[in-house]
Amino acid sequence: MRKVLLVLSLAVITVAGLALIPTKQQAVQASTQATQAATAEVKIDNFSFGPAALTVAGGTTVTWVNHDDIPHTVVSTDGLFKSKVIDTDEKFSFTFTKAGTFPYFCGIHPKMTGKVVVQ
């Protein structure tokens, strides 16, 4: 995994380097790569987080989307992040930069719990 990350980072640096003398196509490619590599989604459905345990690479932006008829929140147990209320079809995003396990819960319905594992 580390090797992959190293290669990825090199690729990003290379792309960034190239960006100094950019062509339109390269810039689009770079941004597409970054988007694909660094986002993940957690669905809120039926008063539960899915997946309840999500594993991502460092730098990933995780987006929670509420599909319930009732509002929810996403609150880090360690105080790392705390969303405002997320109503039906609304979203909340947080970018994980540090490695570790980050448990969270819904501040309105605390029986709803989940965790993000950042490698």
Partner 1 sequence: MPWKKKDEILHDHNHDGIDRRGFLKCMAWAGTGAYCVMSGGVLKSYSLSRLSEMNPAAAKGELSFVQISDSHMGFNKPANPDVAGTLKAAVDKINALQAAPEFLLHTGDISHLSKPEEFDTVDQILKGASAKDVFFVPGEHDVLNDDGKQYLERYGKNAKGEGWYSFDKKGVHFVGLVNVLNLKAGGLGTLGHEQLEWLEDDVKHLKHSTPIVVFAHIPLWSVYPEWGWGTEDSAQALAYLKQFGSVTVLNGHIHQTMQKVEGNVTFHTAASTAFPQPQPGKADSPGPMKVPAEQLRSILGITDVNYVQGQHALAVVDSSLA
Residue numbers of the site for partner 1 (CB under 8 A)? 46-48, 68-71, 73, 75, 77, 84-85, 87-88, 103-105, 107-111, 113
Residue 30 vs 75, nearer CB to partner 1? 75
**CB of residue 50 to partner 1, shortest distance in Å:** 12
Residue 43 vs 109, nearer CB to partner 1? 109
Residue 48 vs 93, nearer CB to partner 1? 48
Residue 59 vs 107, nearer CB to partner 1? 107
**CB of residue 119 to partner 1, shortest distance in Å:** 22
Q: Roughly what angle, to the nearest 10 degrees, separates helices 24-37 and 2-18?
A: 150
**CB of residue 93 to partner 1, shortest distance in Å:** 17
For tokens 């996403």, the residue is 74
Task: Copy the structure tokens of residue 30.
Answer: 């770079």
Contact in structure between 51 and 105 (CB atoms under 8 Å): no
